[in-house]
């Protein structure tokens, strides 16, 4: 991290002393495909990219500390809840782009245009195909029923993906009903929450639990792994997306916004608009096994095999506004 910061600082000083067009990106995404994305943008526009990487919270705090002298132009992060935190920390500004408003679905945009979703991360239900049929599954709410006692795995309540799921359910069903659901879900845990989404998939494949709530791309990575063990794990499970009949599927995002004190605002807007083109979506979203936000794009076989999903239609902004309520609720029901 220190090396990346030092490199960025050196690059920024060099470009600041020249007339070269630049855009300074703070990103919590760490994917090889993103580097290709940046190279393509520079080749297409001539605008050089200076990159600094870190966790979402680290980057938000860094920009706050830098204040009006911050060189940050664009903030890229994952989960709408984290983007909401960035807005609350006053490190973002509205993008003001008609193009972004037109091409990105309303559900995937912050209501005041402070940030936009650029890929869709679908949080579905992975199940053990020997013990469970897709006909046995319904929606997230039904996982709190007695039939699933001792059969559910999920990661901890500290995880932002779970917090956003609960925040979305609060938006759809209200706090009281969501707390009742969460109480039943905790009672159905097969074990104490532990590990990440991949660990939940492995637990389901091993029979430690029958179902788990995970983001789809973790399973996609196991399917595409070069490791026989991973391929075996993936072969023992399948992904289920709740239909509209059962409330729809929870869809989260990876997204970006323009930094509040962006010194290269025009370039920043141009970069965000570039990320919302089909060519860029092939790398930003599909290259990471995420679903694109643009409608009508042809999907590779790796994503087609998951099938279609019906979004619950909750605007992702609610994941942030309801986040404090969700955290308190999860704590009350003993979701550790």
Within the chain, all domains assigned CATH 3.40.190.10 are found at 2-120+252-298, 121-250+311-332
pTM of the model: 0.89
More confident position, 212 or 3: 212
The answer on pLDDT for 230 being more than 70 is: yes
H or E element in which residue 231 lies? helix 228-235
Domain 121-250+311-332 has CATH 3.40.190.10: yes
Query: Do 285 and 253 touch, CB atoms closer than 8 A?
Result: no
Strand pairing class (92-93; 211-215): unpaired
Given this structure, which CATH class describes domain 2-120+252-298?
alpha beta
DSSP E strand stretches across the chain: 22-27, 48-53, 74-78, 92-93, 116-128, 152-153, 211-215, 237-240, 250-259, 291-292
Least confident of 10-14, 24-28, 71-75, 302-306: 10-14
> For 95-154, how does the pLDDT look when each residue is reduced to its tens digit (9 = 90+)?
999 999 999 999 999 999 999 999 999 999 999 999 999 999 999 999 999 999 999 999
> For 153-166, how does the pLDDT look when each residue is reduced to its tens digit (9 = 90+)?
999 999 999 999 99
pLDDT, residue 32, reads: 85
More confident position, 30 or 322: 322
């Amino acid at each position: 991290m220190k090396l990346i910061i030092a490199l960025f600082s050196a690059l920024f000083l060099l470009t600041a002393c020249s007339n070269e067009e630049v855009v300074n990106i703070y990103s919590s995404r760490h994917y090889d495909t993103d580097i290709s994305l940046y190279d393509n943008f520079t080749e297409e526009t001539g605008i050089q990219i200076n990159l600094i990487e870190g966790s979402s919270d680290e980057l938000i705090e860094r920009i706050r500390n830098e204040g009006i002298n911050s060189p940050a132009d664009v903030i890229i992060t994952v989960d709408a809840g984290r983007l909401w935190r960035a807005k609350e920390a006053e490190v973002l500004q509205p993008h003001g782009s008609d193009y972004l408003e037109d091409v990105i679905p309303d559900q995937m945009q912050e209501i005041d245009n402070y940030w936009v979703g650029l890929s869709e991360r679908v949080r579905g239900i992975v199940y053990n195909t020997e013990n469970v049929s897709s006909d046995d599954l319904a929606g997230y709410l039904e996982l709190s029923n007695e039939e699933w006692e001792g059969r559910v795995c999920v990661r901890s309540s500290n995880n932002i993906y779970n917090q956003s799921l609960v925040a979305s359910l609060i938006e759809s069903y209200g706090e009281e009903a969501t707390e009742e659901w969460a109480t039943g879900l905790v009672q159905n845990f097969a074990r104490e929450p532990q590990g990440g989404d991949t660990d939940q998939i492995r637990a389901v494949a091993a029979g430690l639990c029958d179902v788990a709530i995970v983001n789809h791309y973790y399973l996609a990575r196991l399917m595409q792994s070069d490791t026989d063990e991973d391929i075996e794990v993936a072969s023992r499970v399948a992904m289920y997306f709740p239909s509209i009949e059962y409330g729809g599927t929870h869809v989260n995002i990876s997204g970006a916004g323009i930094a509040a004190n962006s010194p290269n605002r025009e370039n920043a807007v141009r970069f965000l608009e570039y990320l919302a083109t089909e060519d860029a979506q092939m790398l930003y979203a599909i290259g990471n096994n995420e679903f694109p936000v643009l409608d009508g794009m042809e999907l590779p076989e790796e994503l087609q095999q998951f099938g279609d999903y019906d979004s619950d239609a909750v605007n992702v902004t609610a994941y942030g506004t309801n986040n404090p309520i969700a955290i308190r609720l999860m704590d009350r029901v003993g979701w550790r």
